[in-house]
Amino acid sequence: MKPQHDLTAGPIGQTLLAFALPTLGSNILQSLNGSINSIWVGRYLGEGALAATSNANIIMFLMFGAVFGFGMAATILVGQNFGRRDVDAARRAFGSAVGLVLGVATVIAALGWVFAPQILQLLATPGDALPLALSYLRVIFLGLPASMLMVLMMMGLRGTGDSMTPLWFMAMSVVLDSGLNPLLIAGIGPFPRMGIAGSATATLIANHVSLLGLVLYVHVKDLPIRLKGAEIRYILPTRALSGTIVRKGLPMGAQMLVMSTAALAMIGLVNREGVDTAAAYAVSQQLWTYIQMPALAIGAAVSSMAAQNIGAGRWDRVGAITGYGLLFNLVLTGVMVAVVILFDRPVMTLFVPENSAALPIARHIQLIASWNFIVFGATMVLFSTVRANGAVLAPLIALLISLYPVRIGFALLARPWLGADALWWSFPLGSCVTLAMAALYYRFGNWRSGSLDVPQDEAGEQAHAMTEPGGRSQPTG
């Protein structure tokens, strides 16, 4: 069967941009949803509640990373198999990822509910924000399995070359979440007054409704990742596919965990500067979500497009895909940085009052740190390309070095001389080091000879076992 959206033919730049823009739209909607919710929380409940949601969201990103790598590995497998025109193998990979992700996410959600107080205490969450953060976090944990499955389905669709369907269902989720937030926070009309827990409950409801809608849509439209009839058994992972997804997914998930734990360490350092700085950092993070959106969208497009082309043996297109990705990142992320810096004050006052002590701190943070996302975006493109052929350890090692010895180390060592500015300058320093290592590995590393092969097992997978992605079409020299 021919892929629903063939990313192995046509003009590379135009195809990449056409794929990336709906993904960017999805990212914008997702970030807008978070910002709107933060506005409701900040306006209704104050700076302490805003700092509480910031602390809780960092923890959720940490939990998310524990299972996200499986989804990333499955997406690459789906893309490579669609490049080979092997739809059944793509469905097997997707089904295995569904089974793994749901199982792990359910366990993490249960553990997170139980140990949420201890986690928040480890973060040095300010005392005023602690009970608010706990109420918010526990409800969010309840929705983790549905959130992960929603993200996995969107990633799977993008692996087939479809970036429009995820956009529509992200829009549904955003409308529901942002609409329910004020109703459940303030108890408007027939809704109960739940305070900060109402914000989390709105997210939980929106995710479950949107997930159900997406599942029904995929089946009614018979989209490539649909599983029905005998294919339902694909959700029970085979040993061969489980081994490949876990072997490649764990390092990619570990990258998310490394980023999350570094963010947690930074939150701990920021919290020690007081509630105003913590609130300012929370506002800065809201703006950073928008700045990094083009990089994330372009990285997702590069990964899906490179995976399909590698699966099809079109190595002649992979280098050009990377080049266009770097160019688009420079232009789009650069524009985002300029817009945010120019219009930071009116945007920030959406989250905190104009007379808030957090406002000048947040503006200062933006001037020092926001430009580092241009560098981050270039790194994202290079890592997305090498991951598309299963190279996952080098990006993990690069992140470990740049985030801990470099970023956190600089923030700690330079703090006696630079004060809180050491925290903000550590961001561009870490990003520059990561880009240098990514560029060296892309140019000189052995990622082109990598493999996402699935070994045969006794369950009869011989007909669906995958060969080395590049096969005989890999370049020589």
Q: Report whether pLDDT(185) > 90.
A: no
| Cα–Cα distances in angstroms (integers) from residue 97 to residues 91, 92, 104, 298, 356, in the given order | 10, 9, 11, 23, 46
pLDDT > 50? residue 459? no
Confidence at residue 100, expressed as pLDDT on a 0 to 100 scale: 83
Mean pLDDT of the chain: 82
- With cut-offs at 50, 70 and 90, classify the pLDDT of residue 406: very high
Residues 107 and 318: their CA atoms lie apart, in Å, by 38
- Sequence-separated (6 or more) residues with CB below 8 Å from residue 242: 96, 100
**What's the sign of the alpha-carbon dihedral 122, 126, 130, 132?**
negative
| pLDDT of residue 76 exceeding 90 | no
Eight-state DSSP code of residue 475: P
Q: Tokens for 144?
A: 């983790």
Query: Measured between alpha carbons, how far is 132 from 140 in angstroms, rounded to an integer?
Result: 13
| Residue carrying the six token digits 């409950």 | 201
Confidence class of residue 461 from pLDDT cuts 50, 70 and 90? very low
Per-residue pLDDT for 464 more than 60?
Answer: no
pLDDT, tens digit, for every residue of 34-50? 777 777 777 667 766 77
User: Which pair of structure tokens corresponds to residue 452?
Assistant: 């996402």
Q: Give the separation between CA 424 and CA 83, rounded to whole angstroms.
A: 43
pLDDT score, position 190: 85
pLDDT at residue 65, rounded to an integer = 66
Per the model's pLDDT, the better-predicted residue between 347 and 299 turns out to be 299
* Per-residue model confidence (pLDDT) at position 434: 94
Cα gap 48→119, rounded to integer Å = 18
> Averaged over 316-329, what is the pLDDT?
94
Per-residue pLDDT at 230 = 83
Contact status, residue 76 vs residue 390, Cβ threshold 8 Å = yes
The pLDDT-based confidence of 124 (bands split at 50, 70, 90) is low
CA distance 210 to 169: 6
Task: Give the per-residue pLDDT at 130.
Answer: 72
Structure tokens at 230: 């005998």
Kindly state the tokens that stand for 457: 């097992």
Q: Quote the CA–CA distance of 163 and 21 in Å, as a whole number.
A: 8
Say whether pLDDT at 209 is over 90. Answer: yes
- What is the reported pLDDT for 199? 84
What tens digit of pLDDT does each residue of 339-394 get? 888 887 887 877 777 778 888 888 889 889 989 999 999 999 999 999 888 888 89
pLDDT-based confidence at residue 458 (cuts at 50, 70, 90): very low
Chain segment 85-111, per-residue pLDDT in tens:
888 888 888 888 888 888 888 888 888
For the chain, what are the domain ranges? 12-449
More confident residue, 412 or 120: 412
CB-based contacts of 461: which residues, under 8 Å, 6+ apart? 238, 240, 241, 454
- Percent residues over pLDDT 90 in the chain: 22
Euclidean distance between CA atoms 71 and 2, whole angstroms:
23
Average pLDDT in the 168-180 region? 91
Which uninterrupted H or E stretch holds 325? helix 315-342
pLDDT band for position 213 (cuts 50, 70, 90): very high
Mean pLDDT of 173-183: 89
pLDDT the model gives residue 469: 29
390-417 average pLDDT score: 90
* Residue 383 near residue 438, CB atoms below 8 Å: yes
Question: Can you tell me the mean pLDDT for 183-206?
Answer: 85
Quote the CA–CA distance of 385 and 394 in Å, as a whole number: 12
Q: What mean pLDDT do residues 328-344 have? A: 89
Identity at 182, one-letter amino acid code: P
* Spatial separation of the C-alpha atoms in residues 316 and 375, rounded to whole Å: 26
Instruction: State the Cα–Cα distance between residues 165 and 162, nearest whole angstrom.
Output: 7
Once rounded to an integer, what is the mean pLDDT over residues 51-78?
73
